[in-house]
Amino acid sequence: MNVAILYRDEIKEYDFGTGHPFHGERYSAFMHMLLKRLAPDDYYRVLKAEAADNQDLLKICDQDYIDFCRDYYHSAASGWVGFYENLTRYQSLDNKPIGMPGQLEAAARLIVGQAKMACDLVQGGEYKKAISVGGGMHHAKQRFGEGFCIYNDVAFSALYLIDKYKLERVLVLDTDAHAGNGTSEYLRSNPNVLYIDIHQDPATVYPGTGFVQEIGANDAKGHTVNIPLPVQAGDASFMKAFDEVVLPLTREYKPQVIVRNGGSDLHFNDGLTYLGVTIAGFKMVGEKVREMAEICGGKQIDLIASGYNAEVLPYAWLSLISGVADLPLTVEEVVKVPAQIEQDQVMEATEKVLEEVRYHHRNYWKCFRD
């Protein structure tokens, strides 16, 4: 058994309240479907992590930010979500809870704790793959939360692996439909990380970053690789992005471990995004990530949280991790696939994007010079 799935019911407290697009039922819906379709003992094990403490959070956040998040979200969970001094100094308004939210800050600490445990399990050799259900808060920054994200467990994972295990080549792959602007800020100058981000064209969706020209800074130029795919890019576009950019880079970089984040918002019927991936496409993405991980002995940490169509989400997550972890699962499509999505009619635009990516990185990677 080489797969650990990190989850505990308290993760459901990561819930911004009724009417907010990010709610905690996503986690229990997924776990219910997983446990119903595949028993844990033979193929994976469900483990519980401890919450991150202040010393863990200080690796990625300033103390005043941590203090604010603790006090503000504790007040919100107690039923008070009105005016709060310095709110917009530390949080965007989309991170303001509605009505009666869950214990958000406590759950956010647990998400970072799961990331820490996942790193330890994989680096310790106990498991080849560790999947954190609820992870992937890639918009959060050192002293500012946004995009439904409070503490950035993606950046934490990379920095923790470098700090504790002295790794020199960590590959972070973001397959969320939105660009990971927070993760990018943390890692853009770090020469020990290759950060690859596949997402919807940032001219058409939040957060408006992640263009091909953003390639990293200082000694890490060329180590940030943005792949902004056109609206309605589907399974074939994603496969092409992996085959022509992501896999060649991975082979040349030779990572010691891979950290991936991203959930179901690539789906064509997500509601907040406008890409074209099908349920079958999620399995393909997972299989491509598993192929990448073969380069580092199968070692991979997976962080999964996003997606805004409650009906689609558990099916997409299940399909994704079945590809990542090679689980014997077949997951059906829950919404009829439109003809234009099935045919991936934006392939020509996708090819132009991939050509631009290779052009902007040709001076940094041999695989793009041919």
Residue 97, judged by CB atoms within 10 A of its CB (0-12, 13-18, 19+), counts as: buried
What is the reported pLDDT for 77? Answer: 82
What is the reported pLDDT for 302? Answer: 98
What is the reported pLDDT for 44? Answer: 95
What is the reported pLDDT for 195? Answer: 98
Give catalytic status of residue 138 as yes or no: no
Q: Which domains does the chain have, with CATH numbers?
A: 3-368 (3.40.800.20)
Average pLDDT per consecutive 10 residues, the chain (370 residues; last block may be shorter): 93 94 94 94 93 98 96 84 76 91 96 98 96 98 98 98 98 98 98 98 98 98 98 97 98 98 97 97 98 98 96 98 95 92 94 98 94
Cα dihedral 244→245→249→255 (10° resolution): -110
CA distances to 109, 122, 299, 327 from 130, rounded to whole Å, are 18, 7, 9, 13
| Set 20, 23, 74, 139: catalytic member | 139
Nearest to 73 by CA among 182, 153, 183, 151: 151
CA distances to 104, 157, 224 from 70, rounded to whole Å, are 9, 21, 32
Could you tell me which residues are beta bridge partners of residue 257?
A: 170
147/1 Cα distance (integer angstroms): 35
